[in-house]
């Protein structure tokens, strides 16, 4: 039996896609990478995943897991050799169980994040992972990239939200780690090893995730700021003023929101005068156990004090859910507007929060000096110390300049991040985009341990090769 016939036998012929049917799964969301594949397969059960992996292992065929294909580092796109199989998780989309006493839900890897949030709400609970791609990204992709988003400040990232996993290893064996335990010290933590491994150590087929009580109300405010220093002072005040009620603190350069309102004229900034053209904005969200009116009152007190102390220049507090949504919509539209605006470089970095103003000031100046006309478009999850330190084009620095200089721009920014004690990937992962960069900044000892793990769990190197670790570190002689 040929290899593709074997795949058809396992998942059914309609779930083995080739040619035009496979094409949408061979290019990444940003259109940065396009690969080729023998086929795209869609298993419908964990056992089928295991059988597909075993067939691939028998034939030495590499496997690239893919969920919603919204990843920003090319991790779900095969290389152009045409030798790999893309394993799509879209049919693994069942909620297996909900336990409202244990506050957990058992979901399959292909469940769409938004569907999981909605199911939690229907059960009177709250699942807090929230990101702009939630309408199409999957729980498996969220786990494989250890996704962050806008609720990390209060609830943590995907790793923090996960209790148990079910994983198919490179040999096709199923590890049933679906335990809904908040304490389990029985040796090495395999769950945490697989979370964030971007499909290079195993294929995640299901997870037990944590649920939380629904907040009685949520309220949002947008503040106009004149510097990144102000943002840090405002964050400190918001943390002490709101304590655990502070569920979001996002920072956005004015140019980012101007790009959004230019690209989507139906969206508007809720300020007039100088505040409509502020250099920076902060978006704050609090959750309240009492009511919306109570949340607004708390906002008015703390933000009033912040303005009096010179930690913000102006503030608008949303008066209802529709206004809150409109403020979040401005924030969530930055990535989409950026994709329409031309070439850009996304640096997804994390830094000690105290170092952020200094880092931004110094790196902005260095970039402008070396690449005049390049546009600094920083935004991100300030409460987590995570900046999307992005750079865009202008009439003085066009797409061709950006492409010609992208390696030099990466090197300049990442060298500064490293010098400030930061990380070159905060929440998007490494994928294929940052493999070279990872090798530059991780210590040899870290790379050695990662390589030992990779080679013991995947000795044939068939799981998402070329992602996360440079190929050299995956070969038997490394
Ligand atoms: P994919 O893109 O399909 O895959 C991502 C990686 O995970 C690949 O390496 C793939 O091989 C691997 N993988 C997928 N499924 C599995 C599985 N079942 N088992 C093993 N490996 C698997 N990310 C954030 O962290 N925070 C944000 O705020 C955020 N906002 C975004 C906004 C927009 C508009 C977009 C387009 C993206 C955003 N992202 C954000 C990035 C992206 O949505 C996340 O990385 C998400 O977790 C990817 O999920 P996915 O299902 O699309 O994964
Ligand atoms: C975000 O915070 O909006 C995302 O991580 C996406 C991006 O960086 O563009
Ligand atoms: Zn982000």
Query: Hey, what are 401's tokens?
Result: 């300049």
Is the pLDDT at 478 greater than 90? The verdict is no
Give 236-265 pLDDT, tens digit per residue. Answer: 999 999 999 999 999 999 999 999 999 999
Q: Which residue ranges have their beta carbon within 6 Å of ligand 1?
A: 29, 64-72, 75-76, 89, 109, 131-133, 137-138, 140-142, 144-145, 147-149, 198-199, 203-204, 335-336, 427-428, 431, 464, 467
Domain 95-213 CATH assignment equals 3.30.465.10: yes
**201 and 458 Cβ atoms separated by less than 8 Å:** yes
132: how many CB neighbours lie within 10 A of its CB? 17
Is the pLDDT at 460 greater than 80? The verdict is yes
Ligand nearest to the CA of 72: 1
What DSSP character marks residue 81? Answer: T
Count of CA atoms in the C-beta half-sphere (13 A) of 96: 17
Q: Which residue ranges have their beta carbon within 6 Å of ligand 2?
A: 132, 335, 346, 348, 388
Give 83-135 pLDDT, tens digit per residue. Answer: 999 999 999 999 999 999 999 999 999 999 999 999 999 999 999 999 999 99
Architecture, CATH, for domain 3-88? 2-Layer Sandwich (3.30)
Kindly write down the DSSP assignment for every residue of 402-427, as one continuous string: HHHHHHHHHHHHHHHHHHTT-BS-SS
Query: Hey, what are 385's tokens?
Result: 């110390």
**224 and 269 Cβ atoms separated by less than 8 Å:** no
Q: Ligand 1: distance of its center to the CA of 307 in Å? A: 38
Is the pLDDT at 172 greater than 90? The verdict is yes
301: how many CB neighbours lie within 10 A of its CB? 11
Give 221-233 pLDDT, tens digit per residue. Answer: 999 999 999 999 9
Is the pLDDT at 475 greater than 80? The verdict is no
Q: Identify the residue whose C-alpha is closest to ligand 2 atom 8.
A: 388
* Domain ranges across the chain: 3-88, 95-213, 217-335, 342-419, 442-474
- Give residue 130's Cα distance to chain centre: 10
Give 335-362 pLDDT, tens digit per residue. Answer: 999 999 888 999 999 999 999 999 999 9
* 217-335 and 342-419 share one fold: yes
Ligand nearest to the CA of 283: 2
* Residues linked to residue 12 through DSSP beta bridges, in sequence order: none
Print burial letters for 52-72: b (CB count within 10 Å at least 16), e (below 16): bbbbbbeeebbbbbbbbbbbb
Alpha carbons 393 and 155: distance in angstroms, whole number:
35
Query: Which of the four CATH numbers 3.40.50.300, 3.40.1190.20, 3.90.1150.10, 3.30.70.2190 does domain 217-335 have?
Result: 3.30.70.2190
Using alpha carbons only, what angle is made at residue 117 by residues 115 and 122, rounded to the nearest 5 degrees? 90
Strand 125-126 and strand 63-66: the pairing is unpaired
Alpha carbons 197 and 255: distance in angstroms, whole number:
34
- CATH class of domain segment(s) 342-419: alpha beta
Using alpha carbons only, what angle is made at residue 469 by residues 467 and 471, rounded to the nearest 5 degrees? 85
Alpha carbons 95 and 263: distance in angstroms, whole number:
38
- Give residue 201's Cα distance to chain centre: 19
Q: Identify the residue whose C-alpha is closest to ligand 2 atom 7.
A: 335
Q: Identify the residue whose C-alpha is closest to ligand 2 atom 5.
A: 149
Q: Tokens 């539209």 correspond to what residue?
A: 333
């Amino acid at each position: 039996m040929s290899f593709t016939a074997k795949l058809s036998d396992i998942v059914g012929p309609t779930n083995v896609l080739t040619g035009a049917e496979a094409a949408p799964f061979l290019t990444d969301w940003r259109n940065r990478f396009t690969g080729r594949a023998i086929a795209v397969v869609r298993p419908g059960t964990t056992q089928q995943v295991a059988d597909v992996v075993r067939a691939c292992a028998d034939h030495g065929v590499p496997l690239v897991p893919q969920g919603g294909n919204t990843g920003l580092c090319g991790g779900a796109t095969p290389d152009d050799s045409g030798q790999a199989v893309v394993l799509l998780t879209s049919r693994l989309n069942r909620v297996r169980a909900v336990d409202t006493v244990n506050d957990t839900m058992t979901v399959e890897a292909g469940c769409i994040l938004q569907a999981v949030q909605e199911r939690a709400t229907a059960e009177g609970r709250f699942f807090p992972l929230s990101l702009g791609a939630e309408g199409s990204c999957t729980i498996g992709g969220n786990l494989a990239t250890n996704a962050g988003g806008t609720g990390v400040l209060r609830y943590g990232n995907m790793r923090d939200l996960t209790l148990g996993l079910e994983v198919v290893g490179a040999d096709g064996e199923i590890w049933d780690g679906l335990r809904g335990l908040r304490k389990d010290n029985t040796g090495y933590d395999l769950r945490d090893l697989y979370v964030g491994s971007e499909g290079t150590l195993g294929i995640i087929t299901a997870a037990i995730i944590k649920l939380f009580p629904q907040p009685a109300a949520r309220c949002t405010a947008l503040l106009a700021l004149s510097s990144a220093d102000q943002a840090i002072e405002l964050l400190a005040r918001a943390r002490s003023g709101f304590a655990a009620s502070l569920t979001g603190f996002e920072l956005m350069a004015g140019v980012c929101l101007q790009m959004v309102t230019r690209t989507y004229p139906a969206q508007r900034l809720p300020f007039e005068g100088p505040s409509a053209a502020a250099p920076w904005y902060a978006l704050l969200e609090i959750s309240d156990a009492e009511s919306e009116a109570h949340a607004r009152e708390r906002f008015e007190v703390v933000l009033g004090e912040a303005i009096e102390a010179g930690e913000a220049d102006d503030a608008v507090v949303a008066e209802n859910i529709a206004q809150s949504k409109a403020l979040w919509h401005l924030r969530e539209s930055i990535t989409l507007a950026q994709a329409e605006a031309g070439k850009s470089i996304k640096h997804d970095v994390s830094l000690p929060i105290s170092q952020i103003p200094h880092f931004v000031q110094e790196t902005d100046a260095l970039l402008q000096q070396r690449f005049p006309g390049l546009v600094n478009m920083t935004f991100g999850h300030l409460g987590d110390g995570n900046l999307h330190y992005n750079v865009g084009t202008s009439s003085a620095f066009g797409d061709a300049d950006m492409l010609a200089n992208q390696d030099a721009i990466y090197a300049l920014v990442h060298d500064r991040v490293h010098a400030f004690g930061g990380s070159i990937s905060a929440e998007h992962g490494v994928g294929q985009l940052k493999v070279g960069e990872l090798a530059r900044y991780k210590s040899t000892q870290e790379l050695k341990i990662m390589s030992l793990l990779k080679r013991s769990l995947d000795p044939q190197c068939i799981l998402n090769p070329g992602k996360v670790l440079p190929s050299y570190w995956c070969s038997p002689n490394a």
